[in-house]
Structures are given as structure tokens and as C-alpha cells.
Amino acid sequence: MTSTRPAVAVSSTEIEHAANDHNSGHAEHPDLRMFGLATFLVADGMTFAGFFAAYLTFRAVNPLPEGAIYELELLLPTINTAVLIASSFTFHRATKELMKGAMGACRGWLLTTALMGIAFLAGQMYEYFHLPFGLTDNLFASTFYALTGFHGLHVTLGALMILIVWAQASQPGYFTPEKHFGIEAVELYWHFVDVIWVILFGILYLL
Amino acid sequence: MTIALPPLQSPEAHESLQPTNWLRYFSFSLDHKVIGLQYIVCGFLFYFVGGALAGVIRTELATPISDFVTRETYNQVLTLHGTIMIFLWIVPVVNGGFGNYLIPFYVGARDMAFPRLNAVAFWMIPPAGLLLISSYFIGGAAQSGWTAYPPLSLTTPAMGQIIWIVSVLLLGGSSIFGGINFIATILKFRQPGLKLLQMPMYCWAMLGTSILVVLSTPVLAGTLILLSMDIVAHTGFFNPSQGGNVVVYQHLFWFYSHPAVYIMVLPAFGLVSEILPIHARKPLFGYVTMVYSILAIVVLGLVVWAHHMFTSGTPPWMRLFFTIATAFIAVPTGIKFFNWIATIWQGRIALNSAMLFSCAFILQFVFGGITGVALAQVPFDVHVHDTYFVVAHFHYIVYGGTVFVIFASIYHWYPKFTGRMHNEHLGRLHLVLTVIGFNLCFGPQHWLGLNGMPRRVAEYDPQFTFMNQLSSVGALLMAISTIPFLINVIGSIWWGAEAGDNPWRALTPEWLTSSPPPVENWKGAAPLVHEPYGYGTEPGLVDLKVATGSDLWRNS
Amino acid sequence: MRIPSAIITSVAGMLLVLAGFWAANYSDLLPESASLNAPVYDELFKVLLAIGTVLLLGMTGLVVYSLVRFRRKDGDTLDGPAIEGNLSLELFWTVIPAVVVLFIGIYSYDIYDRMGGMADLNGHEAMHPNEQLASVRTSNQKDSERIWGGIAPTGNADVLPVEVTALQFAFIFHYPKQNITSGELHVPTGQMVELRMKANDVIHAFWVPQFRIKQDIIPGQTTMLSFTATKTGDYPIVCAELCGPYHGGMRSHVVVQDPGGFDAWIEKNSPPTLS
């Protein structure tokens, strides 16, 4: 005789469900795309964390050559920072309008956000062209361009995605208060980019 | 919010869109079982390439002088060997291969949380691997070891190094996508009623591994981007002549590469936890402590990286800190091994290939773990760092450890994957050849390191010749051992006996369906298994078919 | 009558410990020891070997015994006992390894200290870089003398300084006090030697197996090694960091001589002085 303790529980509701299940087991399952995006942003954040750690270590232990410029002009970058932070608020406003069903207003705020993002990039370009150092001048210069450049790529991608969802939102019914993953996802990404910039600004410009 | 997907088509309707025969293994399939097998087979192909490269290394080292290949070629060979084995064989197979196949079954789902991301992650691997290998033929591969330390990686031929960087970035990205998928599936995709502490242990192992993947792999990506900027744009992050700091590279590199070893070994721990109870007919011993051990290993694994840098530009306080932190990891790891032994103790152990490979894993990994605790101590490491002692240590861990588990897992799940039973005689022959070959190859290397042979060399002091030749014979045996393995896994598809749903009489969900399983994993509802290790007989029960007289009156 | 398992376990434990002792004391796995810290290292090695032997033999015994004693007989379809855990046993094998590991860690710290490893690399006169975190540093004289890693001399004894330059694919030794440059390292017995090491191109490393010490030589970051040789002889210096194709051939010699012999070598090799 054999005996194994029963370890499989199949409840009566499951048996019913199986009997009624014409689609061979398909069921509604949760939408995990935001969860997946959030996890991805953790990973992306860790890339930046590596850069930050490298930069701070270089600052602490690696001397720059005599005469190297490491003090940065603050006016334009501060304005840029304000623009980027404000653009997170405009994006949030866009989502609020979406939840009210006011697609026109939503689109307006989305466009505003995108334009502010592009303004940020323009400000960065202006700053790049007017900096007294180039990419390879010294360690600080290289790290500066690497960090802000990598971040700038993220902003560029973000602005593009905002424009894409802005265009998609012009199709009636594409986004509804219940179903708007595209806008939600890009919003989370945009806030992420903003937070990274605040940290970056702090350690590159202020420290 | 929930989303309703369009109803699953019946299999016949698929033919117009996706192949349903063997061709589906070459397609962009979204089926986690297909993807899992794609990872495994692709991984084995790269394993054979990496193994051939090892053959070149051991052939060169059979004589004390550099006489088999040029020294530059040798350095390319050793670089590719390490890189391929880590990024194209072990990480993909134990994570993407077995992970993708098994996790949906274990959480009671029809597929992974993100099937398309899954397919994308797999299909990044063959091109990245082919790119890496092709670099050898186009101007030479990278020559600075899989660790690519600058300034050496900045002074060796740039093309090979850049291709290496691009390839590793792609493979790291694939790994991250997989990690995102596993975390979402395990945490959020479990069927209703299945609690976290009721999941099979492999789920916990994959959850811990995926957390490490998501947190540490991106740091490697960032580091390699900076390295590539040094090569291509002539920045000086890691170039001392431009004010850079090579030790910063090492810190960043090892921040990923130490967790990488847990990414290679934790899934193996999970797989062993699935295999042993079934073939010993006993519950897994100490389920909750096993979970805590995994979590402890994950946390500790993130804060011990500088034990790879004990002889580098590290001050005494840093060396001391990392010695203590690293030593602690031995405790949760040891617990797992004692728990596995307790699992098989007093069981009814079937001495089949899966069980025997798992037992060999236990002993060999313990050996590697012992040398690991030794290496964690700064004063000990100062003598043996960058010698063959380290080479021996990590091969006992990754080969004697993870690769043995991969073989055990192949033998264990082969009936499920293919619907056929493999040949046990060939399996045991494979085991014997591999155990002898592996230990003969890497055992002597401990002595070599202790007595003065550094690593990554094509020429050595002639006093080391005999031990090197022993080692090379062992490597040859390892190469030969693949023959019975291949005959077995390929031949049994035609010659193997039909396996049936559950040849091992196991309790976990993948065995409660046909072999191979249908597209939707189970016909009907997914079984809800509250006790995946619910083996065990009432004490005192006797199996009359095998009982002898003494069984009736003996106190057991 | 069956022997109680407690007795079997105790005897097995004693045999294991004896095996550990035997392995530690009667194995000859290391090269000869030729420096003050080498025997200290060897002590640690013996302890680690003993503990490792006990653990490996114990685990092997348990696994092999299980596979033999608990093997499934043909046709047996029953399960084993449904034992899911045992709190006291699990506590036992959590606490004991934790204690062992803690012991090893503290013992290693002591060994490293006795090997000179904990000595402050930059002494008291160096600037402390941490204080400079808030501002960006520009280079100055002190940085070029900063020691970034290694083992500094201990004690107040008379130290013999040697400057080591590593390049692809050779070591060059310069004695600043005697103004001698050589391709071989000569040292006297009984005197502490301080190596200040710099690399010209890529990372190299300085390793003498018979001294049991090693340190990477890192371009842009001076590192240091200190040792006192105790046994005359000719020992290999091995480069222990991949530095290019000829890494395997990058070797030199350290010739340990008694003080008289060393003085003679110094005299023989000193640059001539005008009299």
C-alpha cells in the first residue's frame, strides 16, 4: 500500500470554474505594466547611482590639475531646474484633467510639459556651448558631461514620449479615465527623470 | 485594474500565426515553456564554445612554455572563456532557462507576467553572443580578462574591447528584463489562495536573484559606458594619465560582479531544493529558514564586493570591513546545506542521475565554500589573490556547484520537457566521468596557487608542470563526459520510454499536467498546491512488497 | 543491541577533529617560509585547513552514509518520515557556524595585525582626504606621496626603503639611500624593507610566495609593501595581475642575504664616488 499525504487542494469553486471555462483556462489577470515600469525605473536609477558614486569618489580622492575650472555658473542651471520641476507639476495637471474626462485640457497640459522639457534641453545645449571646458579636459569635465549627457538623453526620450501620447490623445476615446496606461507610464518616467535631475543638480552644481 | 486579454485561441487556430511544431523553438514565441527551452539549448551551445576555449587553455598549460597559441590569442581565449561562461551560459540557463519554464507553473499562472518582454530578453542573447565570438575573427577579441580592468583594457586593441562592452551591455539588459519579469510574476501573478510561504523554494530563490539582478546589473552597465567613453571619446575616468582612478572602476565593477555570483548560484540552490525532496520522498527541511537564508544572502551579497580587491588600492580599514561582512555570508549558506542534508536523511533515496548530481553538488560546493571563507580573510587572500587558488575556488562554486545543478535539473525535468525518460545508465556514466574529470582538473589548482602560480598566464615555472598536466587530463575527461550526456539527451527523444505526467510522483504543479505540458500549462484550472513538499508517510507504515521480517520488529 | 546514536555521533565527531588536526599539522601544502610574517600566515592556514577538513569530511560522511543507508529499495513506493524541521537542530547549526565564522574573522584580524596589515598607510603627517570632500581638490605635493593601499612598516626599527617601478613587463628596483638601480631585489635578513611601488602603464602586482605578501602596483596610486626577510635564498617575484601578453613572463628575483653579504652587494653596485 502506498500513502502520501494529500497536498493538492482543488476547491469546489475551482472545479466549477473549470467546468465553465470554455476558453481553456484563460482568465482576467492584473495589469502589471506599471509595476514592471517601476521596477525598470529602479534599475535605471541604479545606473545613475553608479555614476553618482563614481563622481563623489572622484571628488573626494582625485585631485584636479592646477587651474581646472570646477565652479559652475548657477543662474541658467537653476532656471532649468525650476522649469523641469514645474514640468512635473504640469504633467500632473494633465493627468488630473484626464481623470475628469477633459481631454482637450489634458492635451494642452501635455503639450506644455513637452515644451518645458524641450526648453530644458535647449537650456542645456546653451550651457554646453558656453562652458569653459570640453569633454576631455579633466576628470570633473568628463564626469559633468557624462552625467548631464546621460540625463539629457533620458529627458529627450521623455519629451518624445510625451509628444507621442499627446498625439495619441487626439484620437477620441484613445485614453479614458479608466484606461490610460500610456499617459500614466510616461508620467512616472517623467517624475523619475525629474528626481534624478534634482540629485544631479545638487551634487554637480551645488556641492 | 485588471485587463481582459482576448480569449486564448485553440491550438489549431495558431497555425496561421505561429508554428506549433519544432519550428516554434526558432521563432519569437511568447510561450514561457518554449522560451525556457530556447534559453537552455542556446545556453548549452555557448557552453560548448566556452568549453572549447577552456580546452585551448588547458592544452596551452600542459607545457610550461607558451607554445600552443600566441600570447595575445591566449589572452583573448581566456577573456572569451570567462565572459561566455558567465553571461551566455550560467546566468541565462539557471535564470532564463529554468526560471521561465518553471516559475509560471509554480505560481499557478498560464505564463509569465510579461510574455513579450520575455521573448525580447531571450532574443537579445544569440546576437550578443555571436557578436562577442565574431570579435575574435574581426581584428581580435578583448584581451583584458572578463574583468576588463583599465588601464589594460584601454591599451589593448580597442575594437575587440568595444565589441566586448556592447555584447555585455546587451546581455546585462537581457538579464534585467528577465529580472523585472520574475519579480512581477512571483510577487503579483500568484494565483488567488497561494501565499508567499507556500510557494516552492525555487520561487524564493528566483525572487532573491531577480532583486540582485535589478539592483546591481545597471551599475555594471554604467561602468562599462564610462569605460567605453574612455576608449572612444578619450575621456579619463579610469585613465591615470588623465587624472582618472582605476580603483574606482574596480569598485563599480565588483559592485555588480559579486552579486553576479549569487545570481549564478541562488537559482541553483532553488533547483536543488526542488529536486532533493522528490527523490528522497521527504519534505524540504526547514522551509522558513531557507527563505530567510535566501534573503540574508541577497542583502549581504550587496555589501561584500571589495573582497575582490584586498590587494588593490584599499586601505586597512576597508579590507577589514569587507573581511567581516563576507565571512557572515557563510552562515545562511551553511544553513541551506545542512537543511539539504537533513532533507535526505532518513528519506527513501532513489540513486538516479538527478539525485547523484545534486549530492555531488553539495559536496563540491561545500569544498568551494570552505576555500571561499578562507579567501574572505584578508591575510589569507593576500597570498593567494590572483593565483590558481582563486581559479580553483570559483570553478568549484560555479562548475562543481551550479553546473552540476544544471545537469541534475536536466535529468530531473527531462521527462517533463520532452515526455520521454532519459537513459539512467548514460546519466550515471556522465556523472562518474564529470566528477572524476572535474576534481582532477581543479583540485590540483589549489596547490598551484598556494605555491606560486598566478592566473591568466600561458607560461609558468617548470616546477608546476606535473600538476598542470594532471589538471589538463581532468579537463579532457570533462570534455569526454559530454558525449554520454549528448547521446542521452538527444537520443532519448526517440528511444526513451514514455514518461507520463508524473514519473517521479511529485507534488509541485508542473508535474500535475501532461508531459510535455499543453500550451496553457493545464487543461482546466491551475492546481492550487498549498504544500509543495507534502511528502511523508505515517510512521510505522510498511510497504508489504519490500518489507522483510526484521522491518516488522525493528525500531527505526 | 544497537549502539546509541549519541555515542556514534560523539565518536565520529572526535575522529573528525583528529582528522582536522592531522591535516593541519602533517600536510605540506605551502612553499617554504622566508619572512617574519610567513609563519604567522601559516598558522592561519593551518587553522583554516583544520576547520575545513572537519567540515568537508563531516558533510561527505553524512551524504555518503545517507545515500547508502537510506537508499530506496526496488519497488518501495512509500515516503520517508514527514519531518519538516527541528528548531533545536536548526538553532544548533546556525549558532555553531556563526560562532566559528566570528572566531575565524577575529583570529584573522589578529593575524593580519601581526603581519603588519593594520598599520596606518600614511602615518601622521599626511593630510586626511576625507576632510576635503566638500571642495574639489587640486593637486599638490602631498598627493604624490600618498599611499593608496598595501602594508606599511610597523615598529620603530631601521627601515630599508626601496622604490619599485613596474612596467610591461619588468620590475625595476631603486634604492634611494644608496642610489642603486637593479633588476633584482636584494635584501638583508632581519631588516624591515619598505617597498614604495609605482606602475608606469597598467596595473601590475608584486608577489613573493615565500613571503606570503602581495600588493597591486597601480598607475597613478603609489602602493606599499613591508616585510622582514628571515631566510637567505633566492625567491621568485611574480607579477600577479594581468598586464598584457607577457604577464606570465613578468618575474624577477628577491635575493635574501645575510647582512654582511647584503652590504657587500651594496658596495659592489654603488655608483662610484670621487675620492
- Chains near B with 3+ CB pairs less than 8 A apart are A, C
Banded pLDDT at C137 (limits 50, 70, 90): low
Residue C93, H or E segment: helix C87-114
Banded pLDDT at A8 (limits 50, 70, 90): very low
pLDDT digits (tens, 9 = 90+) for C180-189: 999 999 999 9
**Could you say which architecture CATH assigns to the domain A32-63+70-206?**
Up-down Bundle (1.20)
Q: Which pLDDT does position A14 carry in this prediction?
A: 43
Q: Shortest CB distance from B524 goes to which of A25, A48, A49?
A: A25
If you measure CA to CA, which chain C residue comes closest to A56? C133
Name the CA radius of gyration of chain A, rounded: 24
Contacts C98 to B, Cβ<8 Å: 331
Q: How far apart are the first and last CA of chain A?
A: 76
Per the model's pLDDT, the better-predicted residue between A45 and C1 turns out to be A45
Q: Which pLDDT does position A70 carry in this prediction?
A: 76
CB contact under 8 A, C82 and A66: no
Residue B506, H or E segment: none
Q: Shortest CB distance from C133 goes to which of A59, A65, A66?
A: A59
Which residue's C-alpha cell is 525650476? A82
Strand-pairing partners, residue C126, are none
Helices (H), B399-464: 404-418, 424-450
Per the model's pLDDT, the better-predicted residue between A43 and A26 turns out to be A43
The amino acid sitting at A52 is F
pLDDT along chain B (556 residues), means of 10: 48 57 88 97 98 98 96 97 98 98 97 97 98 96 97 96 98 98 97 96 98 98 97 95 94 97 98 98 96 97 96 93 92 96 95 98 97 96 97 98 98 97 97 98 98 97 97 98 98 96 96 95 94 85 72 60
CB contact under 8 A, A47 and B521: no
Question: Å from C255 to nearest chain A CA?
Answer: 37
Residue B348, H or E segment: none
* Mutant choice from A8, A40, A150 vs B, greatest count of B C-beta within 10 A: A8
CB contact under 8 A, C79 and A3: yes
Contacts A43 to B, Cβ<8 Å: 176, 179-180, 214-215, 217-218
C224 in contact with B, Cβ within 8 Å: no
**Can you tell me the ipTM of this complex?**
0.93
Q: Shortest CB distance from B188 goes to which of A32, A143, A150?
A: A32
Contacts C117 to B, Cβ<8 Å: 316, 319, 378-379, 382
CB contact under 8 A, C133 and A64: no
The amino acid sitting at A10 is V
Q: Which residues contact B22 (CB under 8 A, 6 or more apart)?
A: none
Here the cell at position B61 is 598549460
Q: What is the DSSP letter of C201?
A: S
Question: Å from A78 to nearest chain C CA?
Answer: 20
Distance (Å, rounded) from C-alpha B312 to C-alpha A100?
60
Spatial contact of B489 and B468, defined as CB atoms under 8 Å apart: no
Domains in chain B: ranges and CATH: 34-555 (1.20.210.10)
Helices (H), C115-170: 141-145
Q: Where are the domains of chain C?
A: 5-68+90-114, 154-269
- Cis peptide bond prior to A40, omega within 30° of 0: no
Q: Which pLDDT does position B525 carry in this prediction?
A: 93
If you measure CA to CA, which chain C residue comes closest to A60? C133
Contacts A12 to B, Cβ<8 Å: none
- Compute the 3-state secondary structure of chain C and give helix, strand, coil in percent, each to the nearest 5: 40, 25, 35
Spatial contact of B121 and B96, defined as CB atoms under 8 Å apart: yes
Distance (Å, rounded) from C-alpha B171 to C-alpha A43?
15
Q: Shortest CB distance from C137 goes to which of A4, A63, A207?
A: A63
Spatial contact of C149 and C218, defined as CB atoms under 8 Å apart: yes
CB contact under 8 A, C138 and A64: yes
B-C C-beta contacts closer than 8 Å: 302
Strand-pairing partners, residue A56, are none
Strand-pairing partners, residue C14, are none
Return the closest-CA partner of residue C197 out of C157, C249, C118, C252: C252
A60 in contact with C, Cβ within 8 Å: yes
Question: Å from A89 to nearest chain B CA?
Answer: 25
Strand-pairing partners, residue C182, are C173
Strand-pairing partners, residue B454, are B387
Q: What is the DSSP letter of A177?
A: S
CB contact under 8 A, B246 and C62: no
If you measure CA to CA, which chain C residue comes closest to A57? C133
Q: Which pLDDT does position C144 carry in this prediction?
A: 54
Q: How many CB atoms lie within 10 A of CB C232?
A: 14
pLDDT digits (tens, 9 = 90+) for B88-137: 999 999 999 999 999 999 999 999 999 999 999 999 999 999 999 999 99
Distance (Å, rounded) from C-alpha B278 to C-alpha B128?
37
**Listing from the earlier edge strand, what are the strands of the sheet with C204-208?**
C185-188, C251-257, C233-238, C204-208, C213-217
Residue C205, H or E segment: strand C204-208
pLDDT digits (tens, 9 = 90+) for A155-168: 999 999 999 999 99
Contacts C55 to B, Cβ<8 Å: 366, 370
Return the closest-CA partner of residue B154 out of B264, B29, B269, B239: B239
Interface of C with A (CB under 8 A): 77-79, 82, 129-130, 132-134, 136-140, 143
Return the closest-CA partner of residue A40 out of C140, C83, B180: B180
Here the cell at position C215 is 600588493
pTM of this structure? 0.93
Spatial contact of C147 and C125, defined as CB atoms under 8 Å apart: no
Taking CA atoms, B397 is separated from A47, B366, B370, B411, in Å, by 28, 8, 10, 20
pLDDT digits (tens, 9 = 90+) for A30-58: 899 999 999 999 999 999 999 999 999 99
Provide the CATH topology of domain C154-269: Immunoglobulin-like (2.60.40)
Here the cell at position A96 is 488630473
Mean of pLDDT values over C55-63: 96
Here the cell at position B401 is 556547484
Distance (Å, rounded) from C-alpha C214 to C-alpha C236?
12
pLDDT at A119 over 60: yes
